[in-house]
Amino acid sequence: MEALDPIFLARVQFAFTISFHIIFPAFTIGLASYLAVLEGLWLATGRPVYMQLYRFWLMPFAIAFAMGVVSGIVMSYQFGTNWGPFAEKTAPVLGPLLAYEVLTAFFLEAGFLGVMLFGINRVGPKLHFVATLFVAVGTLISAFWILSANSWMQTPAAYLVEDGRYVPESWIGVIFNPSFPYRFLHMTLAAYLTTAFVVGAVGAWHLLRNRQNQPARVMFAMAVGMAAVVAPTQLVVGDLHGLNTLEHQPAKVAAMEGHFQTQTGAPLILFGLPDMEAGETRHEIGIPKLGSLILGHSLDAEIVGLDAFPRDEWPHVPTVFWSFRVMVGIGLLMIAFGAVGVVQAFRRRLFDAPWYLRWAVLMGPIGFVALLAGWFVTEVGRQPWVVFGLMRTADAASPIGAPGVATSLLGFIVVYLLIFTAGTAYMIRLMAHSPEMPSDEAVEEGPIRTAGIMPGPAQDHQHQHHHHH
């Protein structure tokens, strides 16, 4: 009857709603910055191609943003509906962080999104650029606060216990808790990478149809450039994040590595089947001593295994182990893609090799998979704690019975699958429409005067619409 355990259901509900939610902010963090860069380049150079690209990406951005907003409202209430005791005990520390997120980020984003989407004819290009910048900065500020809150749950610091509540001792200590800088950097780069691969895939898709598609060439080159620089950077940042985790949450790292036994000269396990019952990783394929070298910076360093921790403080090892491999595997694939892209660019074949363009198309959604896998590593790896070392997840749930949680979970699944399917389909349809402007329009009018901010597809739509009447 474990499936009907209300706490388990509440965890599934939180995992489902937050996993769904994070896809959209990750994409909009990246896209907002990309849009700001495009509009800035357009203002600086006057080249119409940048405005074409801006318009092209604005509509998918609007859809992703709306889905992020509505699924985010759900998150802001779920601590109360399903995790009341957690909310009460951590509110002195976490409450202000979330309140600051709303005050410094959400209002900024929402306030200027309207101007960004609908306002260019009303405010002029420079002010419109300021609006885009504010939205982009807003997405980063939002990431700052929410990752600070999440990091405090992973590595709680600078708190006292008063009346059974965790009360802040120093705000700087709370906000800049030990894992926060790494997590913030890691997540921001992940958002940028994820977006770059979507942009690259869309550019490649249009290039496969027409190699001379100018906006597609520009976006593809920009995306490959991002991948070439950011993917290796992410490897370094991820490694630093891992070492930080080793210091503060060694059990999580042991689960990531599949190390059940504490040992010197530990291997780097590439694959294997972690067996929690038996307390060993079966059929392991590893590289001897490399684990010690990476984690301990010496071939014979002692690496702590799960046997150093009580059995009831282990996370679910297979989930952590496999999620970690998915994330790292995709990361390596991204680095390879970027490196090949650099070679292709030097050979002046970046836009001409169909196999590379097809590879780029396939890589399109892969960032989202890595992103979710990474969150599974860190969140499942934190279990059985909701606040690491302080509060168990089992003690954090509201007294809602299984039927109630099951019903709400079913509601979320149905509604989210519906809007996910529709939203993704609409976004893909927008992306599939060529970003090239009809050439007569481009010649006759300057970019500012061509029907405001509306992209090609919507204009077509408008024409059909008027015929219709």
Partner 1 sequence: MLDMPTIWAVIIAVALLAYVILDGFDLGIGILFPLGRDRDERDTMMNSVAPVWDGNETWLVLGGAGLFAAFPLAYSILLTAFYAPVIAMLLALVLRGVAFEFRFRTRRRESRNYWDWSFIGGSAVAAFSQGVMVGAFVQGVAVENGVYAGGWFDWLTPFTVLCGVSLMVGYALLGACWLVIKTEGPLQRRMRNLQLPLGAAVVLLILLVSFGTVLENDAVRDRWFSFGSLWFLWVVPLLTLLLAAAYFFAVRADMEVVPFLLALGLFVASFAGLAVSLYPYLIPPDITYREAANADDSLTFMLVGAVFLMPIILGYTVYSYWIFRGKLRLGEGYH
81 scored as a contact of partner 1 (CB under 8 A): yes
171 scored as a contact of partner 1 (CB under 8 A): yes
147 scored as a contact of partner 1 (CB under 8 A): no
67 scored as a contact of partner 1 (CB under 8 A): yes
Of 75 and 270, CB closest to partner 1: 75
Please report how close the Cβ of residue 350 comes to partner 1 at its closest, in angstroms.
Answer: 32
The one among 119, 225, 232, 272 contacting partner 1 by CB under 8 A: 119
* CA nearest to 156, candidates 389, 455, 445, 337: 389
161 scored as a contact of partner 1 (CB under 8 A): no
Applying the rule CB under 8 A, the residues between 25 and 64 that interact with partner 1 are: 59, 62-63
Applying the rule CB under 8 A, the residues between 429 and 448 that interact with partner 1 are: 429-430
Give long-range contacts, CB 8 A cutoff, 24+ apart: 216-222. Answer: 216/434, 216/435, 216/436, 217/351, 218/49, 218/50, 218/53, 219/53, 219/435, 220/350, 220/351, 220/357, 220/360, 221/345, 221/350, 221/351, 222/34, 222/196
The pattern of x and - marking residues 214 through 253 that bind partner 1 according to CB under 8 A reads ----------------------------------------
76 scored as a contact of partner 1 (CB under 8 A): yes
347 scored as a contact of partner 1 (CB under 8 A): no
Of 112 and 356, CB closest to partner 1: 112
The pair of three-digit structure tokens given for residue 201, joined into one six-digit string: 């895939």
Please report how close the Cβ of residue 116 comes to partner 1 at its closest, in angstroms.
Answer: 9
Please report how close the Cβ of residue 239 comes to partner 1 at its closest, in angstroms.
Answer: 34
Task: Show the 3-state SS of the chain.
Answer: CHHHCHHHHHHHHHHHHHHHHHHHHHHHHHHHHHHHHHHHHHHHHCCHHHHHHHHHHHHHHHHHHHHHHHHHHHHHHHHHHHCHHHHHHHHHHHHHHHHHHHHHHHHHHHHHHHHHHHCHHHHCHHHHHHHHHHHHHHHHHHHHHHHHHHHHHHCCCCEEEECCEEEECCHHHHHCCCCHHHHHHHHHHHHHHHHHHHHHHHHHHHHHHCCCCHHHHHHHHHHHHHHHHHHHHHHHHHHHHHHHHHHHCHHHHHHHHCCCCCEECCCEEEEEEEECCCCEEEEEEEECCHHHHHHHCCCCCEECCHHHCCHHHCCCHHHHHHHHHHHHHHHHHHHHHHHHHHHHHHCCCCCCCHHHHHHHHHHCCHHHHHHHHHHHHHHHCCCCEEECCCEEHHHCCCCCCHHHHHHHHHHHHHHHHHHHHHHHHHHHHHHHCCCCCCHHHHHHCCCCCCCCCCCHHHHHHHHHHHHHC
> How many residues make contact with partner 1 (CB under 8 A)?
76
Please report how close the Cβ of residue 69 comes to partner 1 at its closest, in angstroms.
Answer: 5
Please report how close the Cβ of residue 127 comes to partner 1 at its closest, in angstroms.
Answer: 9
Applying the rule CB under 8 A, the residues between 399 and 418 that interact with partner 1 are: 399-401, 404, 408, 411-412, 415-416
69 scored as a contact of partner 1 (CB under 8 A): yes
Applying the rule CB under 8 A, the residues between 381 and 400 that interact with partner 1 are: 398-400
The one among 87, 229, 243, 369 contacting partner 1 by CB under 8 A: 87
77 scored as a contact of partner 1 (CB under 8 A): yes
The one among 12, 18, 37, 66 contacting partner 1 by CB under 8 A: 66
Q: Which residues contact 325 (CB under 8 A, 6 or more apart)?
A: 271
The pattern of x and - marking residues 94 through 113 that bind partner 1 according to CB under 8 A reads xxx-xxxxxxx-xxx-xxxx
What is the spatial distance between Cα 33 and Cα 31, in angstroms, rounded to a whole number?
Answer: 5
362 scored as a contact of partner 1 (CB under 8 A): no
Please report how close the Cβ of residue 182 comes to partner 1 at its closest, in angstroms.
Answer: 24
Of 348 and 467, CB closest to partner 1: 467
The one among 210, 353, 426, 441 contacting partner 1 by CB under 8 A: 426
- Dihedrals phi, psi of 454, to nearest 5 degrees: -70, 135
Please report how close the Cβ of residue 282 comes to partner 1 at its closest, in angstroms.
Answer: 42
Please report how close the Cβ of residue 145 comes to partner 1 at its closest, in angstroms.
Answer: 10
Of 77 and 346, CB closest to partner 1: 77
Of 99 and 353, CB closest to partner 1: 99
465 scored as a contact of partner 1 (CB under 8 A): yes
Of 171 and 271, CB closest to partner 1: 171
Please report how close the Cβ of residue 90 comes to partner 1 at its closest, in angstroms.
Answer: 8
Please report how close the Cβ of residue 432 comes to partner 1 at its closest, in angstroms.
Answer: 12
Of 49 and 153, CB closest to partner 1: 153
